[in-house]
Amino acid sequence: MLLKYKYKLKAHKSQTVIIANWLEMARKQYNYRLAERLNWFEATRTLLNACPLNVSVVSVDQIYQNIPEFRIQTRNGRKKDSNGNPITRKGDKHPNIVNGYVVWEAVQLADLAQTKKLFPEYKSMHSQVLQDVIQRVQTTMDNFTKPDKNGKTSGRPKFKGRHYYNSFSYPQLSNANIVKNANGRFCINLPKIGLVPFVYNRSIPLGFKVKTGTVIREVDGYYISFTVEDKTVPVEVAEIQPTLDNSKGIDLGLLHYAVTSYGEFIEVPLFFRLSEDRLSKLQVRLAKKQKHSKPWKILKRKIAKLHQLIARQRLDWQFKLAYHLFSNCQVIFLEDLQIANLLRRCKAKLGDNGKFLPNGQSAKSGLNKSLQDAAFGQFVRVLEYVAWKLGKKIIKVDPKGTSQYCWECLNKVSKSLSERWHSCPRCGQELDRDYNSALLIQKIGLLLTQEEDITSVKTAVRAYLTEESRALP
């Protein structure tokens, strides 16, 4: 099992300077290596309607001109076979070009020695920290060129500006790096930086070993994030059979943040909205200052700290709410919301004269701000983590139709967004619209786990009508 633990660093002034310098050097190295990869990528592309055998952007000699055909291993490899002998040995030759493709990660890692000769300041950086920069470039390019399990790739990689490269990693740390200094204060021993004091507010769980450490720059200082692992602890998902008594349905919304099938209404906290006035005043003051002046930097920092406070308030509240929701149930059913679709802009409307017509985007912008303030996607991830930690379970339900059908008789009761009361003419149910949705989500979720044919409200309605028709004489 892998876990992450994050701690606040209390670095001395000299150590803060070293960390800041390392971040800047790592950023420059990242941009240079990414430029190498993108230049080669563009040079080897051809148009879809052109044959790659006789059409090329540049000649083959130019493509491989600065890339050696082989690299020679300078020391024995760390990995060993069953007899204890190293799998790869000093002096082994490895190809840099395989089937026409350059093994870029190996080429760039080998080129770091030349980088240190040309730029001696890189000798002050720990070698593994510098190697991790190359691995980040490799991961970025893999995400760009190789599709994931859904067949999608990420966008073209971007170069990192000064404020967008905020971390570097030590790939090999251990529990022995956490020590106490002469004053009895907990410190993390970071190679080539020294003993850095940190707030050890919660100890590493017994049996877990520290694997990696990432130094992160945030607006209020530096943090370190440990990846800890215990291979004896299995990663298990709780197998719980949902019933009416041990489950709960939840409807998420903006009028009420969450409404449960137990009849509990949870209000929207509005963290961003409550701080919006203060934030706008700071931004107005910032706009009047000269860029990069001392007053401008002070205001910029205040704005960043306010955004950080809002994000932390929201996350803390969501964790407390997640634990509260699981306090009296084992399984939670909730809608499988597509947040990207909810935040999508309205389609443009063109009139007969070619001019744009009003499409409701100005009103939608306010709705989008409220949706982003609510952070439903983050809340679902928090719920999943809390469920795993408590040995409980969440099940997602198709959201289509959950507000338009009666939970009791599955009769369709069409309602506009402004109608907040559910009144069923068939069975006489009278209740709040969101409460009806929560009860329906729980009902569909229970049917989903018990009957294979039912996957949504529509399939449940179809099955219900089929049973009714069979019951008729």
% residues pLDDT > 70 (the chain): 96
- Name the residue among 304, 260, 283, 273 with its Cα closest to residue 367: 273
Q: Cα dist. 179→135, 183, 251 in Å? A: 29, 11, 48
Cα 265 from Cα 189, distance rounded (Å):
49
pTM of the model: 0.88
Q: CA of 20: how far to CAs of 11, 17, 80, 112, 199, in Å?
A: 11, 5, 38, 21, 20
What is the structure's pLDDT at 53? Answer: 55
Residues 244-270 have a mean pLDDT of 94
214 pairs with which residues across the strands? 169, 225
- Tell me the three state secondary structure of residue 276: helix
Distance (Å, whole) CA 323 – CA 377: 17
Please tell me the distance from the alpha carbon of residue 396 to that of residue 411, in angstroms, as a whole number.
22
Inter-residue contact 5 to 204 (CB < 8 Å): yes
Mean pLDDT over residues 270-280, rounded? 94
C-beta of residue 208 within 8 angstroms of C-beta of residue 173: no
Average pLDDT, the chain: 90
Query: pLDDT grade, residue 171 (50/70/90)?
Result: very high
User: Is 353 exposed, middle or buried, given 0-12, 13-18 or 19+ CB atoms closer than 10 A?
Assistant: exposed
Residue 65, pLDDT > 80, answer no
Q: Give pLDDT tens digits for 281-291.
A: 999 999 999 99
Tokens of 245: 């008594």
**Tens-place pLDDT, residues 130-169:** 999 999 999 999 999 999 888 888 999 999 999 999 999 9
Share of the chain above pLDDT 90, in %: 65
Angstrom distance (rounded) from CA 300 to CA 178? 34
Reduced DSSP (H G I as helix, E B as strand, rest coil) percent helix, strand, coil of the chain, to 5: 40, 20, 40
